[in-house]
Chain A
């Protein structure tokens, strides 16, 4: 009964019938209370956005997979300290992080949001070393500003790591439990022995593809002895197998071992400290079996299993709770295997999930296929993090038959080439993303251009390219690229907040309001939509409504730094400095490298004439984004107000070099020179500047001021006239007219101008 229920839950999850899945798994837990069943129920809750339910049922559980799911629930409920405690129990400092790479990734996120940057970086790097295809971990490292070059990360070691995951090894693994040498374990799928047989032969220990170590097997046996037997008994034991199994010493063990191999069983069997979502595994396996590809298991297998079992049992004993998560995750797990690490089902699962995904795309050893199929299905349902895998898993199911029929052994070389293709793609994307996060935008753009057309012309890449153009203050090009991205993926909100800012800068109110309307109708619950709306109102100078919209964005996702920053801008526009500071600081708490918030704080203090604070904040912004001429010019202005005018002028020179198209540094330079009473130099600069910006009223007004100081009234008058012709603001027009009046009364001293 139990296995039928489990199977039913699996199917419901695979078909996104969440309420059905919840109901059935609740009945399952009521009838067969066990931690693994609780895990399944938790998965159902998490899949239907009821993290709080999962939290309650998993509170206090100890098995690694339970801890992982519990941590996920805590994370979604924003209970970060509990999540961290679940993943890294305080009283077990050396404990293994459950689930390997995803576990490290989650831990990294927790530390990131609790302001422990170094720990976060450490864990993301761990995750990446366990699973080189975990792009999300690399992305986080880039955001934290601690990413290594993509060529190193997605290089040889990574390739080797992936290969180990996917290629069957040809040497039978040692079955000795103690020797969990899964690293070398590569079973010979090319034999006539069916994968199942192989597995049996080698015991669960070496499932090369999945680098499920012997520990798993050991775990299985251990579990068998402890609690999991009930689960075991009903697991997908294909009927022919069943009979065969019955003669084997630890029938449950084999069941697990059966289709989809040992991994599954190990997952189920797990050591007492470890648990796997057995049930999940069961379902796919059964399907697999049911497809009628049962293969005979020679008696030899069974006989082997005897001793193996015992050895496994003993090995299980030796399996420490600190299984090296890396092992399972298959990132360079082999090496970890050598160390006798134990695989945790969790890692296995994560591995398989990944595999599921990649396998969907590549040819893989037939034997592995089977495993993958089931595993992927299993994993998909069991892990909350791989929702996309589910889709692949489903397709897998359909392909299961064909795959099995193919039954071919994918050559090692194909895996190698596949891995290297993926890695070369990730190298380019990773390097581009890393450079963009370091604000080396031109380099990033050049890197992205190396992508093949079919990848370049996707929403994500084009959004990144658009962002890079925006950072280079090339708003027209950014507009073009972003609108292209929208044509290709109109449903994607990634980067649309930046696009709305681009349109804000271009003052395209029609396009901006159209964008905002479209985004809101696509997803009312995305912060980007409300940011676009807010930008729309801000462009109309309706700062109150803009602020409300940005606050809505903050409510929808408090971890979206840009929403906080924009709130800050709106507060400052309304001269509410206190709240402005709070908003900017919130932005920085989410992302300390969000230079816009540093800049916002600098401007705020600048307005309040707290020039030292302003200088400090501009410098912080500059450190993060050293190519921005705007930041440099404000830094220079702040230095000037701090009476460090020589430094200010030097900074202005740098600003001019940083971006030739930015004319403001020249203007500021002239201003500084004027206040230093170096009038001739100032006029020289302005004479040059007026050629580049013949329509800028302030340039001529400033020249008028200088000529007035030099008592060259005619020239002053001339320039004031031009300044007035160029339609300055009413305030400035008044100021200039007043200045003209004063020209007629040269005796009057005017301090204001």
Chain B
């Protein structure tokens, strides 16, 4: 993922472990945020710190779970979408024992057939974390799915509940020209490809 390489952060990755975190959210131009098209829900929450805090573009507000682990954030789309990247904002310095430690990302058609597609372990993260959903095979660049579930399996310092401040989900931009197999790359083709 080009964005992971481009990110200027103290991010390190070893054997599925992520630490550090970007202070600035920078995402490739070719990706677009798909969260608006989805229905978001959480397994539990404390009143006043509900699911809307995950989507309000405000890093001061956070979702706080209120129950037994694991905690879930469910993202359900009306039709299958291609997803490429999940970005979370978590901060150990602010949330300490509420900071997630083990996260599992599942995908499927619904609650009945979710399968894990990514697992990471976080080590004192502070900022935006980029979790790419792509596999190694070029055919696996995207995950084509109805539903995504982000599961917080455990927290730092064995905390019970978790804080997550923001989540964003990205997928590729569709071809501006519909029904075409490939997108155009050259100026001449792009100029003639639409009327504005």
Contact = CB atoms under 8 A, between A and B. Distances in A.
B182 A741 contact: no
Contacts of A737: 138-139
B40 interface: no
Nearest to B141: A734
The main secondary structure of chain A at its interface with chain B is: helix
Contact of A733 (B138, B178, B194): B138
Contacts of B29: 541
Interface residues of B, number: 32
A723 B139 CA distance: 17
A603 interface: yes
B191 to A, nearest CB: 6
Contact of A701 (B30, B137, B139, B181): B181
Contacts of B178: 603, 606-607
B116 interface: no
A413 interface: no
A737 to B, nearest CB: 3
Contacts of B193: 630, 664
Given A730-B28, A730-B172, A741-B137, A671 B181 contact: yes
A438 B141 CA distance: 48
A734 B182 CA distance: 11
B22 to A, nearest CB: 20
B189 A663 contact: yes
Contact of B139 (A473, A475, A738): A738
B10 interface: no
A729 interface: yes
25 contacts: A473-B192, A505-B191, A607-B179, A609-B179, A630-B193, A630-B195, A637-B179, A662-B192, A664-B193, A671-B181, A693-B189, A696-B185, A696-B186, A698-B180, A698-B181, A698-B185, A727-B185, A728-B182, A731-B175, A733-B138, A735-B182, A738-B139, A741-B137, A741-B138, A753-B181
Interface string B118-151: 0000000000000000000111011000000000
Given A731-B30, A731-B172, A734-B139, A630 B182 contact: no
B181 A705 contact: yes
Contacts of B196: 501, 504-505, 566, 569, 596
A641 interface: yes
Contact of B181 (A633, A693, A702): A702
Interface string B159-177: 0000000000000110100
Interface of B: 2, 28-30, 32, 82, 84, 137-139, 141-142, 172-173, 175, 178-186, 188-189, 191-196
A433 B56 CA distance: 51
B138 A734 contact: yes
Contact of B141 (A504, A693, A697, A730): A730
Given A606-B178, A734-B142, A693 B192 contact: no
Given A504-B196, A730-B141, A641 B30 contact: no
Nearest to B28: A730
A723 B183 CA distance: 11
A728 B185 contact: yes
A596 B139 contact: no
Contacts of A740: 138
B1 to A, nearest CB: 9
A603 B178 CA distance: 8
A607 B194 CA distance: 13
Contact of A728 (B82, B183, B192): B183
A727 B184 CA distance: 10
Contacts of A663: 188-189, 192
Given A541-B32, A730-B141, 4 more contacts: A569-B196, A731-B183, A734-B142, A753-B181
A84 B159 CA distance: 75
Contacts of B189: 663-664, 667, 693, 696, 698
Quick one: which of B29, B139, B184, B196 has the most chain A CB within 10 A? B196
Given A541-B29, A695-B186, A726-B185, A473 B191 contact: yes
Interface string A365-385: 000000000000000000000
A729 B138 contact: no
Contacts of B186: 693, 695-697
- B-side binding surface: helix, strand, loop or mixed? loop
A428 interface: no
A633 B185 CA distance: 18
A631 interface: yes
Contacts of B141: 730-731, 734
B172 to A, nearest CB: 4
A738 B138 contact: yes
A613 to B, nearest CB: 13
Interface in A474-517: 475, 501, 504-505
A653 interface: no
A73 interface: no
Interface in A338-396: none
A457 interface: no
A31 to B, nearest CB: 58
B191 A475 contact: yes
Given A733-B138, A734-B142, A741-B139, A702 B192 contact: no
A506 to B, nearest CB: 8
A612 interface: no
Nearest to A662: B192
B85 to A, nearest CB: 11
A233 interface: no
Interface string A729-753: 1111111011011000000000001
Q: Which 3 pairs of residues, A with B, have the shortest CB-CB distance?
A: A737-B138, A698-B182, A734-B141
A609 B194 CA distance: 17
A667 B184 CA distance: 11
A629 interface: yes
B19 to A, nearest CB: 27
B192 A630 contact: yes
Residue with the highest number of chain A CB atoms closer than 10 Å, among B183, B188, B195: B195
A54 B105 CA distance: 68
A437 B105 CA distance: 57
Contacts of B172: 729-731
A596 B192 contact: no
Output the residue of A475, A630, A728, A734 with the most chain B CB within 10 A: A734
A702 B179 contact: no
A566 B183 CA distance: 22
B139 A732 contact: no
A227 to B, nearest CB: 58
Contacts of A726: 185
A595 B173 CA distance: 27
Contacts of A607: 178-179
Most B CB within 10 A of own CB, among A501, A504, A662, A727: A662
Contacts of B138: 733-734, 737-738, 740-741
Interface string A708-737: 000000000000000100111111111101
A303 B193 CA distance: 80
Nearest to B36: A574
